[in-house]
Amino acid sequence: ISRKLSAAMADRYLIGGEIEIPAQAPVPEGLKKKLDRNKKLLAEKEAAVAAKAKEKRAQRFALKMRTNAYEKEYKAAETKLIELRRQARREGSFFMEPDAKLMFVIRITGINKLAPKPKKILQLLRLRQLHNGVFVKVSRPMQQMLVNVNPYVTFGYPTLRSVRELIYKRGCGKVNKQR
């Protein structure tokens, strides 16, 4: 029976090593089959481990390139904003800051004496406990919801740096509905 090794589990399997047999000694048929099978499995394992390592290197490289692209994009946006502010100051006019796209909302009250409508909105925002926080997109409906739950939450517009610090220190994100 030949077992196929998946690339994900390839490096976890231990395959029996070579057995030294004297030159003229008779070898049982079962042992011959076992040695052949182990040799074949070892070759499959080495190929799977090499493929896994190659795939991991490619993923790391893609991640690095994507990170560099994001950094460049953020830097370009920041320098553009600085230039627009300077231009407005030179011309003696005002610079209208762009609207934020992201909002961070934190629940600041408990569950006692809460009306049904704010309670439901807090559930929709995934703010079921005191001191829970969520990132939400800024939109008209979201702002209406926040008006209704204003006494129970506090919110603001985070910078890239504060988002990074929050995620690294306390955050858990969901990707494909998995934590």
Going by C-alpha positions, the residue among 45, 51, 41 that lies closest to residue 2 is: 41
CB atoms within 10 A of CB 159: 11
CB atoms within 10 A of CB 127: 20
User: How many CA within 13 A on the CB side of residue 55?
Assistant: 8
pLDDT in the model for residue 1: 43
pLDDT in the model for residue 6: 57
CA dist., res. 164 & res. 171, Å (int): 9
pLDDT in the model for residue 15: 78
Domain ranges of the chain: 10-91, 102-170
Q: Exposed (0-12), middle (13-18) or buried (19+): which is 148, by Cβ within 10 Å? A: middle
User: Averaged in consecutive runs of 10 residues, what is the pLDDT profile of the chain (179 residues)?
Assistant: 53 73 82 88 89 94 96 95 94 90 93 91 93 92 94 93 88 78
CA dist., res. 127 & res. 118, Å (int): 11
Whether domain 102-170 has CATH 3.90.950.20:
no
Structure tokens at 135: 């990132």
pLDDT in the model for residue 145: 93
CA-derived radius of gyration, the chain: 30
At 117, the amino acid letter reads: K
